[in-house]
Amino acid sequence: MSEVLLKGQKAKNASLSLVGVTTEEKNQALLKIADGLLMAKSVIIEENEKDLQAGRDRGLSESILDRIMLNEKRIEDMASAIQLLVELRDPIGDNLETIKKENGLHIKKNRVPIGVVGMIYEARPNVTVDAATLSLKTGNAVILRGSSSAYYSNKALVQTIHGALSETNLPVDSVQLIEDTSRETAKELFTLNDYLDVLIPRGGKNLIDTVVRESTVPVLETGAGNCHVFIDETAEYKMAERIVVNGKTQRPSVCNAIETVLIHEKWFHQYGIELLQVLNSRGVEIYGDELVVQVFREAKRATEEDWATEYLALKVSVRIVSDVQEAIKHINTYGTNHSEAIVTEKVENANLFMMKVDAAAVYHNASTRFTDGFEFGYGAEIGISTQKLHARGPMGLEALTSSKYFVYGKGQVRE
């Protein structure tokens, strides 16, 4: 039997045992994991060093090596995040609906775990701990399929988690790592419908697209963010500048950073050069439409491809539009339904924009960088969903739950 199939079966069994485990039991297990990570710090760092060495040998970029790297501080941060997770309210068991029928039937719709969560992700070993602990908090078993570039780190982390779980009532198989990181094991997970209830990809666009395309297991699509700010005719200059600079430069590599600025032509005539100069002075490369390159010589000409590109870098495309309708149309054509902002003093335009733009989160006079489970106050984040089913936008613990109808009768049958 293949590793994936075997671990799938074990996960399914573990998930059935996890049903009915109490919040206290889950929290105690989480605290044991936090303690275990702190105690195993040096071993984890040693194993992580093997990944870093292998990465350097393969010539991985500094930014990817940084994503793989674990040090004392980062392991301590993992432990602290788990302690915060323990404090969060357990959504399992919540009553979502109660129906009393005339025939005496009593129906309760309650929140239950999803079952088995599959996680496919790239470099970052912190996702290993995140996914494992968020799944446990919600009573799910999890199968982790990390990247070869974090092989030793992931193994050390999961061994630590297993050590901790073995001292609790929770099955050790609740958390399992697929150690074979070949393409084949990913493919096997895509069609493991008998054992997996959901598959969550975390990583770049290629990974996500592949999972969406090839998986027959239901997918929670996260991530890709080609986000826009539209600066309307009446936007206050300083506010617009602040929101654009924040969206573009505060952390360009993340999905809620902005990639295109759409500017009302009248505003552009008055303030455009100033804004472009500010961006330029902060090291942002500008790809503009015809009007932009005419008036701002440092700008390069944007191609059709630029409008659809998530740069994830200090680059921005800029297009001049004649009104809010044109901005909405541009966003609904090129956007990825993530986070979209309008800066305007005209409330009607803000309302129209927010209603008509098709995105998980729409902003009036605020930075798109706020689309985040922690910023929204959920205390945890599985990812940011850009699909419309099950969960949309930042996903907290509830995104890892399902529901179940409990029907209580006295012998009722249907007429």
- The residues binding a copy of itself (CB under 8 A) are 16, 19-20, 99, 101, 105, 107, 109, 114-115, 193, 197-198, 212-213, 216, 218-220, 236, 238-239, 242-243, 245-247, 250, 332, 354-356, 358-367, 369-371, 375-377, 387-390, 392-393, 402-414
Compare residues 80 and 193 and give the one whose CB is closer to a copy of itself: 193
Compare residues 113 and 125 and give the one whose CB is closer to a copy of itself: 113
CB of 267 to a copy of itself, least distance (A): 16
Compare residues 36 and 393 and give the one whose CB is closer to a copy of itself: 393
Contacts of 283-288 spanning 24+ positions with Cβ under 8 A: 283/249, 283/314, 284/248, 284/249, 284/314, 284/315, 284/316, 285/314, 285/315, 285/316, 286/315, 286/316, 286/317, 286/318, 287/315, 287/316, 287/317, 287/318, 288/317, 288/318, 288/319
CB of 415 to a copy of itself, least distance (A): 8
Compare residues 84 and 99 and give the one whose CB is closer to a copy of itself: 99
Compare residues 20 and 166 and give the one whose CB is closer to a copy of itself: 20
Compare residues 59 and 411 and give the one whose CB is closer to a copy of itself: 411
CB of 140 to a copy of itself, least distance (A): 10
Q: Under a CB-based contact definition with an 8 Å cutoff, are residues 352 and 328 in contact?
A: yes
Compare residues 278 and 293 and give the one whose CB is closer to a copy of itself: 278
CB of 101 to a copy of itself, least distance (A): 7
State how far the Cα of 264 lies from the Cα of 85, in Å rounded to an integer. Answer: 44
Compare residues 140 and 149 and give the one whose CB is closer to a copy of itself: 140
State how far the Cα of 68 lies from the Cα of 237, in Å rounded to an integer. Answer: 40
The 3-state secondary structure of 264-309 reads EHHHHHHHHHHHHHHHHHCCCEEEECHHHHHHCCCCEECCHHHHCC
Chain center to CA of 138: 17
CB of 362 to a copy of itself, least distance (A): 6
Write the Ramachandran bin of 393: left for phi over 0, alpha for psi from -120 to 50, otherwise beta. Answer: left
State how far the Cα of 407 lies from the Cα of 37, in Å rounded to an integer. Answer: 43
CB of 358 to a copy of itself, least distance (A): 7
CB of 332 to a copy of itself, least distance (A): 6
Q: Which two tokens stand for residue 94?
A: 């919540």
Q: Under a CB-based contact definition with an 8 Å cutoff, are residues 20 and 93 in contact?
A: no
Q: Count of CB atoms within 10 A of residue 241's CB? A: 18
CB of 93 to a copy of itself, least distance (A): 10
C-alpha dihedral sign at 395, 398, 404, 407: negative
Tell me, what DSSP letter sits at residue 113?
Answer: E
